[in-house]
Amino acid sequence: MGLKLAPILLAAGLLAGAAADGGGVRAGERFREANDLARAGDYPKAIALYEGLASGGQESASLYWNWAQTAAARGAPGEALWALLRARELDPGDRAVAREIERRREAFNLDPAEIAPDPWAGGLRVARRYHLDLAGVLLVLLSLPLHAAMRLWPAVRGASAPAGLALGLGLVLTVGSAASSLTRPVGVVIRRGAPLLDAASPTAEAVGTLREGEVVPILEGSGDYLRVEDSSGARGWALAPDVRRLLGPIAPSR
Protein backbone atom coordinates (compact mmCIF):
# COMPACT_ATOMS: atom_id res chain seq x y z
CA MET A 1 0.00 0.00 0.00
CA GLY A 2 1.16 3.56 -0.56
CA LEU A 3 2.68 5.58 2.25
CA LYS A 4 0.37 8.30 3.59
CA LEU A 5 2.64 11.33 3.43
CA ALA A 6 0.27 14.14 4.42
CA PRO A 7 -0.04 13.06 8.09
CA ILE A 8 3.70 12.50 8.18
CA LEU A 9 4.52 16.00 6.96
CA LEU A 10 1.93 17.57 9.25
CA ALA A 11 3.18 15.66 12.27
CA ALA A 12 6.75 16.60 11.43
CA GLY A 13 5.83 20.27 11.38
CA LEU A 14 3.96 20.03 14.68
CA LEU A 15 6.81 18.21 16.41
CA ALA A 16 9.41 20.62 15.08
CA GLY A 17 7.34 23.64 16.08
CA ALA A 18 6.73 22.32 19.57
CA ALA A 19 10.42 21.59 20.25
CA ALA A 20 11.71 24.36 22.53
CA ASP A 21 14.94 23.02 24.01
CA GLY A 22 18.05 21.51 22.44
CA GLY A 23 16.90 17.93 22.97
CA GLY A 24 13.54 18.71 21.44
CA VAL A 25 15.16 20.34 18.42
CA ARG A 26 17.34 17.29 17.86
CA ALA A 27 14.28 15.05 18.20
CA GLY A 28 12.44 17.18 15.65
CA GLU A 29 15.36 16.92 13.25
CA ARG A 30 15.50 13.14 13.64
CA PHE A 31 11.75 12.95 13.14
CA ARG A 32 12.00 14.93 9.88
CA GLU A 33 14.91 12.77 8.80
CA ALA A 34 12.85 9.62 9.41
CA ASN A 35 9.99 11.05 7.37
CA ASP A 36 12.35 11.93 4.52
CA LEU A 37 13.75 8.39 4.57
CA ALA A 38 10.23 6.96 4.50
CA ARG A 39 9.32 9.14 1.52
CA ALA A 40 12.47 7.98 -0.25
CA GLY A 41 11.54 4.32 0.38
CA ASP A 42 14.30 3.57 2.89
CA TYR A 43 11.85 2.01 5.33
CA PRO A 44 14.32 0.12 7.57
CA LYS A 45 16.32 3.26 8.37
CA ALA A 46 13.15 5.30 8.89
CA ILE A 47 11.78 2.72 11.33
CA ALA A 48 15.13 2.60 13.14
CA LEU A 49 14.89 6.35 13.71
CA TYR A 50 11.27 6.16 14.87
CA GLU A 51 12.27 3.39 17.25
CA GLY A 52 15.20 5.40 18.56
CA LEU A 53 12.94 8.36 19.26
CA ALA A 54 10.37 6.18 21.03
CA SER A 55 12.94 4.32 23.14
CA GLY A 56 14.41 7.70 24.09
CA GLY A 57 11.08 8.85 25.50
CA GLN A 58 9.99 10.97 22.52
CA GLU A 59 6.69 9.13 22.11
CA SER A 60 3.58 10.57 20.48
CA ALA A 61 0.54 9.29 18.64
CA SER A 62 1.85 10.98 15.48
CA LEU A 63 5.17 9.16 15.71
CA TYR A 64 3.43 5.79 15.97
CA TRP A 65 1.05 6.67 13.14
CA ASN A 66 4.03 7.37 10.89
CA TRP A 67 5.77 4.24 12.12
CA ALA A 68 2.66 2.22 11.26
CA GLN A 69 2.44 3.60 7.72
CA THR A 70 6.15 2.98 7.16
CA ALA A 71 5.95 -0.58 8.52
CA ALA A 72 2.98 -1.32 6.27
CA ALA A 73 4.85 0.01 3.24
CA ARG A 74 7.80 -2.19 4.25
CA GLY A 75 5.54 -5.26 4.27
CA ALA A 76 5.27 -5.69 8.04
CA PRO A 77 1.51 -5.44 8.73
CA GLY A 78 1.77 -6.92 12.23
CA GLU A 79 4.24 -4.24 13.26
CA ALA A 80 1.96 -1.65 11.65
CA LEU A 81 -1.00 -2.80 13.74
CA TRP A 82 1.14 -2.75 16.90
CA ALA A 83 2.19 0.85 16.17
CA LEU A 84 -1.44 1.88 15.63
CA LEU A 85 -2.50 0.24 18.88
CA ARG A 86 0.34 2.04 20.63
CA ALA A 87 -0.87 5.32 19.08
CA ARG A 88 -4.37 4.59 20.43
CA GLU A 89 -2.96 4.16 23.92
CA LEU A 90 -1.52 7.68 23.71
CA ASP A 91 -4.55 9.28 22.04
CA PRO A 92 -7.70 7.17 22.48
CA GLY A 93 -9.87 9.80 20.80
CA ASP A 94 -8.07 9.78 17.43
CA ARG A 95 -10.75 8.57 15.01
CA ALA A 96 -8.31 8.12 12.13
CA VAL A 97 -6.25 5.72 14.27
CA ALA A 98 -9.41 3.85 15.31
CA ARG A 99 -10.53 3.45 11.68
CA GLU A 100 -7.10 2.25 10.61
CA ILE A 101 -6.97 -0.27 13.47
CA GLU A 102 -10.36 -1.64 12.44
CA ARG A 103 -9.31 -1.90 8.79
CA ARG A 104 -6.17 -3.81 9.66
CA ARG A 105 -8.02 -6.04 12.12
CA GLU A 106 -10.37 -7.06 9.32
CA ALA A 107 -7.43 -7.62 6.97
CA PHE A 108 -5.95 -10.07 9.50
CA ASN A 109 -9.39 -11.66 9.95
CA LEU A 110 -9.10 -11.21 13.69
CA ASP A 111 -12.05 -11.11 16.05
CA PRO A 112 -12.34 -7.79 17.97
CA ALA A 113 -11.56 -9.71 21.18
CA GLU A 114 -8.25 -10.86 19.68
CA ILE A 115 -6.92 -7.30 19.64
CA ALA A 116 -8.51 -6.32 22.98
CA PRO A 117 -8.35 -9.37 25.29
CA ASP A 118 -8.48 -7.36 28.52
CA PRO A 119 -11.87 -5.71 29.24
CA TRP A 120 -10.19 -3.19 31.56
CA ALA A 121 -7.90 -1.85 28.82
CA GLY A 122 -10.51 0.49 27.36
CA GLY A 123 -11.25 1.90 30.79
CA LEU A 124 -7.58 2.53 31.39
CA ARG A 125 -7.29 4.47 28.11
CA VAL A 126 -10.29 6.63 29.03
CA ALA A 127 -8.93 7.20 32.53
CA ARG A 128 -5.58 8.34 31.15
CA ARG A 129 -7.11 10.59 28.50
CA TYR A 130 -9.45 12.43 30.88
CA HIS A 131 -7.24 12.15 34.00
CA LEU A 132 -10.07 10.46 35.87
CA ASP A 133 -7.79 9.44 38.74
CA LEU A 134 -6.94 13.10 39.39
CA ALA A 135 -10.59 14.10 39.01
CA GLY A 136 -11.58 11.45 41.55
CA VAL A 137 -9.05 12.67 44.11
CA LEU A 138 -10.16 16.28 43.64
CA LEU A 139 -13.82 15.34 44.14
CA VAL A 140 -12.99 13.46 47.33
CA LEU A 141 -10.99 16.43 48.63
CA LEU A 142 -13.82 18.79 47.71
CA SER A 143 -16.33 16.70 49.64
CA LEU A 144 -14.30 16.82 52.87
CA PRO A 145 -14.74 20.53 53.68
CA LEU A 146 -18.42 20.25 52.72
CA HIS A 147 -18.93 17.45 55.21
CA ALA A 148 -16.98 19.40 57.86
CA ALA A 149 -19.07 22.52 57.23
CA MET A 150 -22.30 20.57 57.64
CA ARG A 151 -21.18 19.42 61.07
CA LEU A 152 -20.15 22.89 62.21
CA TRP A 153 -22.91 25.01 60.70
CA PRO A 154 -26.45 23.65 60.56
CA ALA A 155 -27.34 26.26 57.95
CA VAL A 156 -25.30 24.46 55.32
CA ARG A 157 -26.78 21.05 55.93
CA GLY A 158 -28.62 21.43 52.65
CA ALA A 159 -25.30 20.71 51.00
CA SER A 160 -25.43 17.08 52.11
CA ALA A 161 -26.58 15.87 48.70
CA PRO A 162 -23.78 17.61 46.72
CA ALA A 163 -21.23 16.54 49.33
CA GLY A 164 -22.36 12.93 49.19
CA LEU A 165 -22.43 12.98 45.39
CA ALA A 166 -18.92 14.42 45.21
CA LEU A 167 -17.59 11.84 47.66
CA GLY A 168 -19.32 8.90 45.96
CA LEU A 169 -18.31 9.92 42.45
CA GLY A 170 -14.77 10.66 43.56
CA LEU A 171 -14.41 7.24 45.14
CA VAL A 172 -15.83 5.54 42.04
CA LEU A 173 -13.41 7.36 39.73
CA THR A 174 -10.43 6.79 42.01
CA VAL A 175 -11.10 3.10 42.62
CA GLY A 176 -12.03 2.51 38.97
CA SER A 177 -8.83 4.14 37.71
CA ALA A 178 -6.78 2.15 40.21
CA ALA A 179 -8.43 -1.11 39.14
CA SER A 180 -7.84 -0.31 35.47
CA SER A 181 -4.15 0.25 36.16
CA LEU A 182 -3.85 -3.35 37.39
CA THR A 183 -4.37 -4.79 33.90
CA ARG A 184 -1.81 -7.46 33.03
CA PRO A 185 0.77 -6.63 30.35
CA VAL A 186 0.00 -7.53 26.76
CA GLY A 187 1.94 -7.68 23.52
CA VAL A 188 1.18 -7.74 19.82
CA VAL A 189 2.43 -10.55 17.59
CA ILE A 190 4.27 -8.70 14.84
CA ARG A 191 5.71 -11.59 12.82
CA ARG A 192 3.84 -13.95 10.55
CA GLY A 193 4.27 -17.57 11.58
CA ALA A 194 5.75 -16.70 14.98
CA PRO A 195 6.20 -20.04 16.80
CA LEU A 196 4.72 -20.83 20.18
CA LEU A 197 7.42 -22.83 21.99
CA ASP A 198 7.28 -25.34 24.80
CA ALA A 199 10.19 -23.77 26.69
CA ALA A 200 12.30 -20.62 26.89
CA SER A 201 15.23 -22.26 25.17
CA PRO A 202 16.95 -22.23 21.76
CA THR A 203 16.31 -25.98 21.58
CA ALA A 204 12.59 -25.70 22.41
CA GLU A 205 10.05 -27.28 20.11
CA ALA A 206 7.16 -25.41 18.54
CA VAL A 207 3.77 -26.43 19.91
CA GLY A 208 1.80 -24.02 17.76
CA THR A 209 1.84 -20.78 15.79
CA LEU A 210 0.75 -17.35 16.95
CA ARG A 211 -1.54 -15.26 14.75
CA GLU A 212 0.07 -12.14 13.38
CA GLY A 213 -1.60 -9.03 14.78
CA GLU A 214 -3.15 -10.80 17.78
CA VAL A 215 -2.85 -9.12 21.15
CA VAL A 216 -1.71 -11.70 23.71
CA PRO A 217 -1.37 -11.46 27.50
CA ILE A 218 2.24 -11.65 28.66
CA LEU A 219 2.43 -13.99 31.65
CA GLU A 220 6.15 -13.72 32.36
CA GLY A 221 9.49 -13.13 30.74
CA SER A 222 12.78 -15.00 30.69
CA GLY A 223 15.72 -13.55 28.82
CA ASP A 224 14.88 -13.35 25.13
CA TYR A 225 11.53 -15.12 25.61
CA LEU A 226 8.04 -14.16 26.72
CA ARG A 227 5.45 -16.59 28.04
CA VAL A 228 2.12 -15.75 26.42
CA GLU A 229 -1.42 -17.04 26.06
CA ASP A 230 -3.24 -16.86 22.73
CA SER A 231 -6.97 -16.38 22.17
CA SER A 232 -7.56 -20.16 22.12
CA GLY A 233 -6.09 -20.48 25.62
CA ALA A 234 -2.85 -22.13 24.48
CA ARG A 235 0.18 -21.09 26.51
CA GLY A 236 3.81 -21.21 25.58
CA TRP A 237 6.94 -19.18 25.00
CA ALA A 238 7.49 -16.71 22.16
CA LEU A 239 10.66 -15.03 21.01
CA ALA A 240 10.69 -11.50 22.41
CA PRO A 241 11.31 -9.88 18.97
CA ASP A 242 8.13 -11.57 17.69
CA VAL A 243 5.89 -9.96 20.35
CA ARG A 244 6.07 -6.23 21.01
CA ARG A 245 4.75 -4.93 24.32
CA LEU A 246 1.79 -2.59 24.03
CA LEU A 247 2.50 -0.59 27.19
CA GLY A 248 5.63 0.50 28.94
CA PRO A 249 9.03 1.63 27.68
CA ILE A 250 10.13 0.73 24.17
CA ALA A 251 13.13 -1.59 24.15
CA PRO A 252 15.46 -0.96 21.18
CA SER A 253 15.71 -3.82 18.71
CA ARG A 254 18.85 -5.86 18.74
Burial class of residue 166, CB neighbours in 10 A (0-12, 13-18, 19+): buried
pLDDT of the residue at 226: 96
pLDDT of the residue at 120: 54
pLDDT of the residue at 2: 45
pLDDT of the residue at 109: 93
The answer to whether domain 5-107 and domain 186-245 are alike in fold is no
| Distance between CA atoms of residues 240 and 254, nearest Å | 11
Kindly report, residue by residue over 172-198, the tens digit of the pLDDT: 656 554 554 556 789 999 999 999 999
* Cβ pair 214, 246 in contact under 8 A: no
Where do the DSSP E strands lie in the chain? 186-189, 195-197, 206-209, 215-222, 225-229, 235-239, 243-245
Pairing of strands 195-197, 225-229: unpaired
pLDDT of the residue at 197: 97
Candidates 1.10.287.3510, 1.25.40.10, 3.40.50.2300, 1.10.287.70; CATH matching 5-107: 1.25.40.10
pLDDT of the residue at 19: 43
pLDDT of the residue at 249: 77
Phi and psi torsions of 219, nearest 5°: -85, -35
* Cβ pair 140, 167 in contact under 8 A: yes
Pairing of strands 195-197, 206-209: antiparallel
Domain boundaries, the chain: 5-107, 126-180, 186-245
Strand partners, 208: 196
pLDDT of the residue at 121: 56
- Identity of residue 230: D
Whose CA is closest to 216, among 101, 29, 85, 20?
85
* CATH annotation of 186-245: 2.30.30.40
pLDDT of the residue at 116: 79
Handedness of CA 112, 117, 118, 119 (dihedral sign): positive
Positions in the chain short of pLDDT 50: 1-2, 5-10, 12-14, 16-21, 177, 180
* pTM of the model as a whole: 0.71
